[in-house]
Structure 1
Amino acid sequence: MPDPLPPPRPAVVKLGGSLVGTPALTPLLAALAGRGAPLVLVAGGGPLADGVRALQPRLGLSDAACHRMAILAMEQTAHAFADLAPGLALAATPAEIAQAHAQGRAALWRPAAMALAARDLPESWELTSDSLAAWLAHALNATRLTLVKSAPAPIGSGPADWVAAGLVDPLFPAFAARLAGPVEVALPAALAAASARKDIAA
């Protein structure tokens, strides 16, 4: 009997916090849940991370503490997304992601377990959920990374241009450079259409 084929490599999709509270969010989550494996979704911190930013000067919090709090904000946003789209499977580790994919489900990353234990992530506001998504994509050997934004990227641009346009954090190009597959910015409607065509993980 031939050896079984290895599982397909995942594709990582980062959903920007700017989508929270917009009409596009719930239909997009439903479309991605319907697409299923081998997707891995990363939720931005959204308003919860903004709350951490607002709280920092009031309490005099360190950047290190705010870094950890912002990761927990992403974790809470992931729980919110899972409530909006029950077909998504919350997953904290590569093993849990693989288990979700074995069930045919798209995984929704809970970042706290991995990100808070990491020693290669700067504890700074210069690191946002975009760079965390690229960090996860590298850890999972993902085929591609798609950042879903409310604003489009300029045609023909790349990560350095996205920093200049304010679309990503200044550390993102270095994290993205480690990825073997393509890195792209997509609008919610375009991603939902790609999901419907079943070609998002290509």
Structure 2
Amino acid sequence: MTIIVKIGGSLTRDAAPRRLLARLAAEGGLVVVPGGGALADQVRAVQPQWDLSDAAAHRMALLSMEQMAHAMRDLEPRLLPARDRAELAAAVARGAALWFPAAMTLGRPDIAESWDVTSDSLALWLAAEMGAERLVLVKAPGTRIPAPLPAPSGGRAADIAAWTAMGLVDAAFATMAVRFTGDILAIPADDGDRLDAALRAKGRAAAINEETKEGSRLS
């Protein structure tokens, strides 16, 4: 079971997420996707100052994720760096992979070069590329989280639209989700029990049932 875990940029703007990275590094079969965080914020700030195009800003923001991956690797050396499919597959087989996204995403025609695409959508894109069974979006502590999105049977566009309206995911997330047939969960970083359940290597239906019950209690 391959799980993609995206660490929200908000978790990198203050103290380094050492405990979270250590928790993830102890797992096998997952890929950590870094958000751009404060580094991407600087791209947003400089774009209007320099009158940069969205395409240039998109590439710069992608590279901010690449830089954040270097930082996370320094904070938690057990995370195995991976830049392409072969390296990702090898790393996942050995432990927890850390995705350096630039090599796979810069200049891709199927990834729009705009602010509609953030690290959430890129994590979803990677989940589809790898045929992962689950995408876990780790959000800021205290974030109000709706019920998880199980694998689609008749489509889940309305649910994703609601997530987008809440600001939980970016505008391109719905488009990226068309290719992904696995589960999608969003979990606040301070809810260790839900994170443990999401990372547990067991049948998908059972895990989703547990998450739905927990999400109902918290909402």
- Per the alignment, do residues 44 and 200 of structure 1 end up closer, same or farther by CA in structure 2, a change over 3 Å counting? farther
Higher relative contact order (CA 8 A, sep 6+): 1
SS in 1 for 2:26: helix
User: 1:154: Cα distance to partner?
Assistant: 2.8
The answer to whether the Cα contact below 8 Å between 1:24 and 1:188 also exists between their aligned partners in 2 is: no
Gaps of 5+ in 1: 1-8
- The structure whose residues are more often helix, as a share, is 2
TM-score (norm 1): 0.87
How many residue pairs were aligned?
Answer: 192
Percent pairwise identity: 48
Query: Secondary structure of the residue that 1:52 maps to in structure 2?
Result: helix
Q: Work out the CA distance in 2 between the residues paired with 1:140 and 1:197.
A: 18
Structure 2 CA distance for partners of 1:183 and 1:191, relative to 1, 3 Å: farther
1:114-171 CA deviation, whole Å, 9 max, x = no partner? 0004110011011111100010000000001011111132347832111111111111
Q: Determine the structure 2 residue equivalent to 1:186.
A: 187
Map of 1:112 onto structure 2: 102
Alignment of 1:134-153 (within 5 A): 134-150=124-140, 151-153=143-145
Query: 2:84 & 2:192 partners in 1: Cα distance?
Result: 25
2 CA distance for matches of 1:154 and 1:184?
Answer: 9
1:18 maps to which of 1, 10, 27: 10
Structure 2 residues not aligned, in runs of 5+: 150-158, 204-219
The structure-2 alpha-carbon separation of the partners of 1:167 and 1:201, relative to structure 1 and needing over 3 Å to count, comes to farther
Give 1:169's aligned amino acid: D
Verify the 8 A CA contact 2:82 2:98 in the aligned structure 1.
Answer: yes
Distance 1:152 1:64, change over 3 A: same
